[in-house]
Chains A and B, each alone.
Chain A
Amino acid sequence: MLRYAMGRIGQMVPIALCVTVLIFLLIKLVPGDPASAILGDHATEASVRALRHQWGLDRPIWQQYALYMRNLATGNLGQSLRYQTPVSSMLPRRIGVTFFLIIYSLVLSVLIAVPMALVAALCRNRWPDYAIRAFLALPLASPPFWIGILLLIVFSLKLRLLPAEGYGDGFGDHLQHLFLPALTLSYAFASVLSRNLRSSLIDVLTTTYVDFARAKGLRGRAVLFGHVLRAAMLPIVTLVGVRLSYAIGGSVVIETVFAVPGLGSWMVDSILSRDYAVVQTLTLMFALGTMLINLTTDLIYPLFDPRVRVG
């Protein structure tokens, strides 16, 4: 197990490199450049050229990549061309915001999904099951920004209960400002989570586990929580792993609607303004983070199902 983990960690390095090359090429090949974007409508050809030269954007592409990697090796995450600030100075706050938002929405999703899935699985094919599945399907099929704006209108405008945007200062403030965006984000995930959990619960409820456990003499709730949930967690674990990076992508539009200053909106802004260093650094971070999550997911498998061997 440990050897497998070390092996996987070792594999992360070449993959991270592949990711940086991939995104570097992709973003450089996209037409348009930061100088024209920043200089805007009043730009002249001469000023665009001068700025590109100042930023080293007229050097051959492999040289730019080498420079970026060399900076990275010394811990220099690059400079945001748009904001004229080191990426590392903007990063901590942005990470904190998105992290808060994602954890908040995961917590809300679980709080919504688990009880619903349990009820649906236990009452499967009877009316509570259909009612729950219909209720959960609704937000799944709706555009997140649509739900977000509806929530905004109800809670922020009509009821004046919650702020409409931003992040706030202090933990309590964060909880308030991010409640609506987290709720919007959590809907879709709660839906998927609940459906898969219900599906797995049904699978397991109809297998020999339950009969075996009952035969062992365990009763009622112990059977349910002890064995059924654990065995049903396998696809859930996969899904969480996949959805975590998904959640960041899903947060992109939500962050724009609610003006949440997190990584997702920063990433999109940077792609659209061709802020190369930011795009590369953020992608690299996502890559490493996602790989760690995947590794953790794979290592956790056997804990839930001893029949699974990894490696």
Chain B
Amino acid sequence: MSAQAQAAPQPGGLVAARRARLALPIGIVVGGIMLLVLTGATLLAPVLLPADPNAQDLNAMLQRPSLAHPFGTDNYGRDVLTRVLYGAGIDLRIGVLAIIFPFVFGSVTGAFAGYAGGWADALIMRAVDVVTAIPFTVLVIAIVAFLGPGETNVLIAIGAVDWIIFARLVRGEVLREKNLEYVAALRAFGFSRWRIILRHILPNAIAPAVTFLASDIVLVILTAAALGYLGLGVRPPAPEWGLMIAEGRTFLYTAWWVATVPGFACMFAGIAFILVGDGLADLLRVRGQ
């Protein structure tokens, strides 16, 4: 690049220079640790707790937390702690798998739409409009009703609908970015459209999408839970957290631990993802400038 381009004022100015210390924000550290705990629990559960999460004991129904059952038992006499740990694997799997396609496909599509403008933008955004037109949960319910309940179908249904959020977010950012000076400079240097989009604009525009990624994983887990509530999600007797909450909600004020513990597990996982997501967003913001 020429000296002139380098000397152009970078967005951020004096404040950005101060922030260029690049130390990891504490959020990402805490979140990362939480995620490690979660993944560790998932992988080690079969070793630490060899008991079958589906083992019923009708003489031990709805028992309070005790030494034998640190989180109590549910209405089949199954140990809640074991089920929650095994459930971590299911929910993490659903959460991560379900957002890969939407994130990748949505971000790239949104970036392309924002940058290209014109009829390509119109076409893509109208397609987004059609899918957005129907409320997210409702469309997922309709698709799952069509495909039938079960984990795979839940993933497919969510994937088909979730990408639009990323598309819109990234497109919004790209619309702003593409008028900045450095883009004009890149264009002047003859870089191809796709190179500009993918290597230069997208990393700057991706911050809101990455911030949203964390919420999205949680949203996916909660949608799976909502589907479980309606009986259209993962099939019983799988110890999926949402299903556990749905099954335990009847006992919420007689045997609160049955539904509360998986709820807190959800929260734990959610916070972990959010902290990591926020931290990543902070990092990207600094580096992009």
What residues of chain A have their CB less than 8 Å away from a CB belonging to chain B?
Answer: 11, 15-16, 18-19, 22-23, 26-27, 29-30, 125, 130, 133-134, 137-138, 140-146, 149-150, 153, 157, 191-192, 195-196, 199, 202-203, 205-208, 211, 234-235, 238-239, 241-242, 245-246, 248-250, 252-253, 264, 267-268, 271-272, 283, 286-288, 290-291, 294, 301, 305, 307-311
Contact = CB atoms under 8 A, between A and B. Distances in A.
A143 B226 contact: yes
Contacts of B176: 234, 305, 307-308
A199 B207 contact: yes
Given A125-B25, A145-B229, A245 B132 contact: yes
B265 to A, nearest CB: 10
Contact of B138 (A19, A207, A271): A271
A308 B117 CA distance: 12
A291 B134 CA distance: 10
A146 B245 contact: yes
Nearest to B285: A203
A26 B147 CA distance: 10
15 contacts: A141-B269, A141-B274, A142-B267, A143-B222, A143-B229, A199-B207, A208-B9, A235-B169, A242-B168, A249-B135, A250-B136, A253-B230, A286-B135, A294-B129, A309-B179
Contact of B145 (A23, A30, A192, A238): A30
A249 B222 CA distance: 12
Contact of A199 (B19, B172, B208, B252): B208
A272 B145 contact: yes
A268 B180 CA distance: 45
Interface string B134-174: 11111101110110000000000000000011001100110
A239 B173 CA distance: 12
B35 interface: no
A291 B172 contact: no
Main secondary structure of the interface of B (DSSP, over half): helix
A250 to B, nearest CB: 7
A207 B13 contact: yes
A159 to B, nearest CB: 14
B225 A235 contact: no
Nearest to B263: A146
Contacts of B133: 15-16, 19, 245, 283, 286-288, 290-291
Contact of A149 (B252, B266, B278): B252
A97 to B, nearest CB: 15
Question: Interface SS of chain A: helix, strand, loop or mixed?
Answer: helix
Contacts of A310: 175
B249 A145 contact: yes
A18 B138 CA distance: 17
A235 B174 CA distance: 11
A20 to B, nearest CB: 10
B142 A245 contact: no
Nearest to B25: A125
A112 B197 CA distance: 37
B271 interface: yes
B11 A249 contact: no
A146 B142 contact: no
B215 A140 contact: yes
Nearest to A211: B13
Contacts of A133: 27, 274, 278
Interface in B244-278: 245, 249, 252-253, 259, 263, 266-271, 273-275, 278
A141 B271 contact: yes
A250 B145 CA distance: 18
Contacts of A264: 135, 137-138
Given A125-B25, A207-B12, A235 B208 contact: yes
> In this complex, which of A207, A238, A287 has the most chain B Cβ atoms within 10 angstroms of its Cβ?
A238
B168 A15 contact: no
A143 B225 contact: yes
Closest 4 CB pairs of A and B: A141-B270, A249-B135, A287-B133, A249-B137
Contacts of A137: 270-271, 274-275
Given A141-B269, A268-B230, A19 B134 contact: yes
A238 B263 CA distance: 30
A157 B253 CA distance: 10
A253 B229 contact: yes
Contacts of B175: 301, 308, 310
A301 B117 CA distance: 15
Contacts of A205: 15
Contacts of B15: 205-207, 211
Given A141-B269, A294-B132, A268 B242 contact: no
A186 B5 CA distance: 46
Given A141-B269, A143-B245, A207-B12, A307 B145 contact: no
A26 B137 CA distance: 15
Given A141-B218, A267-B138, A290 B132 contact: yes
The listed residue with most A CB atoms (<10 A of its CB), out of B12, B122, B135, B268, is B135
